[in-house]
Amino acid sequence: MLRREFLTALVALAAVPAVGQTNEPGLQLGDATVFEREALIARAQSLAANPYQMREEIPEDWVNLTYDQYRKIWFDSRNALWEGTETPQRVDVFPPGLYFPRPDEVHVVEDGAQRPLKFDLEVFDRTDQFPDVTIDDRLGYSGLRLRADLQGTGNHSEYAVFQGASYFRGIGTGQTYGLSARGLALKTGDPMGEEFPEFIAFWIEKPVDGAPDVTVHALLDSPSCAGLYSFVIRHGETLTMDVTATLFAREDMRHVGIAPLTSMFLFDQMNRDAFSDFRPAVHDSDGLLIHNGAGEVIWRPLANPTRLQISAFSDNGPRGFGLMQRARKFSDFADLEAHYHNRPGLWVTPGEDWGRGSVALGEIPADNLTNDNIVA
């Protein structure tokens, strides 16, 4: 997947200062209905009780946008949710199209009521190179971004993104985006092909005044299952997410990955000679760290193998695991643009006893840095 290059470009576009008129429309909300988390769980259960139905796609001319055309449209931060208010968070949305052919529902929750975000092309800035495209009721946003004043300067910087399938990313203050997390991994490495569940709807709870966290609920759907995820996200030097998931199976699920992580490892000093590159190393993560149920701490360095490689560490009640970036000096990478030394690690601590299973590591051969070739 060409996620890394693509998302990096989106971040760069988000940093472009807005110009032109200052009277922006802002995100528009629809009619209010009662919000209850239990109702969202019931919706997930109802989905799973019925045959899977693929959501309707957006108009074809949006899907057929080229990579360069899609970069010609970006969200104008002056239209962010809660912009110009005392609420400490800001929420941006992403346009549909290209790699994101199906729109997501996005709802805002306040005082026990939920209101949908209406699609509005005018909340985006566009260059004259962006083509004329169809505007109809099939359109919607493709994901969302959270921002806050991370350094006390009055500028709201992003710290978490949800976009594409069940992928989400986060960074601590001052870090650079690297690896991704996913809601669920299904049939990873299966000869019949992997199944990618999707977050199809989001509910963002308005934070109470002064609260350091924001709660996001996400409805997941897939041919094998449906479910509801709730994220309590706290930004800071270390970003934390408390995640609660309720899943309902449509069929027997025999190949399931809980709290999956996806990253990139191209080379380090161990396989440096295989690449003609001025840099000493290129990777978002350099090892899998495990604190197993027996209290042992295991470090498994990552590799870029010549063929698919799967490793499994059997366990009972793991205390934690994660993909980490231990190389932290600029000289470890010598890259002035990518800042690999500043990429985050991601550590998973189970909130309950997960019982018997294994921590699995998949390493896929890669010859360029645009592919996520590591999964845990």
pLDDT value at position 17? 42
pLDDT value at position 22? 52
Task: DSSP letter for 14, please.
Answer: H
Domains and their CATH numbers in the chain: 1-17+25-257 (2.70.98.10), 259-376 (no CATH)
Bridge partners of 373?
Answer: none
Cβ atoms of 244 and 175 within 8 Å: the answer is no
Assign 337 to helix, strand or coil.
coil
pTM: 0.91
CA distance linking residue 244 with residue 263, whole number of Å: 23
CA distance linking residue 318 with residue 295, whole number of Å: 9
> For residue 106, what are its two tokens?
């996005």
Angle (nearest 5°) at CA 291 between 288 and 295: 150
Which of left, alpha, beta for 221 (phi over 0: left; psi -120 to 50: alpha)?
A: beta
CA distance linking residue 344 with residue 12, whole number of Å: 18
Q: Which residue in 174, 148, 357 sits closest to 257, CA to CA? A: 357
pLDDT tens for the chain, 376 residues: list them: 454 555 555 544 444 444 444 567 899 999 999 999 999 999 999 999 999 999 999 999 999 999 999 999 999 999 999 998 989 899 999 999 999 999 999 999 999 999 999 999 999 999 999 999 999 999 999 999 999 999 888 899 999 999 999 999 999 999 999 999 999 999 987 888 899 999 999 999 999 877 889 999 999 999 999 999 999 999 999 999 999 999 999 999 988 999 999 999 999 988 888 898 899 999 999 999 999 999 999 999 999 999 999 999 999 999 999 999 999 999 999 999 999 999 999 999 999 999 999 999 999 999 988 889 999 9
Cβ atoms of 251 and 237 within 8 Å: the answer is no
Residues for the chain: how many in total? 376
